[in-house]
Amino acid sequence: MSAALITVYIFSALCSNIAASVTKTWSIRQAGIPTYRCACPVGFSRCAGRCLTRLNQTANYSTAERLCSEINAHLFAPHTDEENQCAFTLRSGQWAWLGYSDREVEGEFVAADGCGTYPSTGVRWRPDEPDNWLGAEHCVGMIAYDEWNDRPCGDNMYPLCQLGNCPRPECP
Ligand SMILES: [Ca+2]
Ligand SMILES: [Ca+2]
């Protein structure tokens, strides 16, 4: 499939999702039921329909995972370009941990939200990444632009946390 076809496909899928979400929200409002399911708790901001926050302390990867879980969240695993831009904005120029790691199987980057894996040949990687440098890089950070890099899990970065697992919330 060509890149153009893939783009059209993704765009179509996004549009149909948005249309379904808008219809759902409208229906809920019509019925007079509060739309609290679609609001983010205090401390989280909404971006691309996700409830996200950047913690205010750096930590290694396993501690970052724990800190997110302490607020009933997990490390943010962007799945779309829009979500990836949310991560870029949220990190505000700081090094930040994302919810992907290949700690279990080298080269298989598993999403922290349970929504599958991201290929090591994907477009979100920084050029020449992931390189598993010195055989010791198994955790994914965003440290330059909006690009991903596999890094040693012992690095200290700001955790980006996200609410919600698979299946993903239906809110727009
Ligand atoms: Ca690795
Ligand atoms: Ca690397």
pTM of the model: 0.77
Q: In this structure, which residues have their CB less than 5 angstroms from ion ligand 1?
A: 102, 132, 138
pLDDT in tens, the chain (172 residues): 455 444 444 434 443 343 333 333 333 333 443 334 568 899 999 998 899 999 999 999 999 999 999 999 999 999 999 999 999 999 999 999 999 999 999 999 999 999 999 999 999 999 999 999 999 999 999 999 999 999 999 999 999 999 987 766 555 5
Give the Å distance between the CA of 135 and the centre of ligand 1: 7
Does the domain spanning 40-162 belong to CATH 3.10.100.10? yes
Domain range list for the chain: 1-38, 40-162
On the CB side of 91, how many CA atoms lie within 13 Å of its CA?
27
Report the largest interatomic distance among the alpha carbons of the chain, rounded to a whole angstrom. Answer: 58
Contacts made by residues 27-30, CB under 8 angstroms, sequence distance 24+: none
Report the relative pairing of strands 96-101 and 158-162 from DSSP bridges.
parallel
Ligand minimally distant from the alpha carbon of residue 131: 2
Report pLDDT for 49. 86
What pLDDT shows up at residue 14? 41
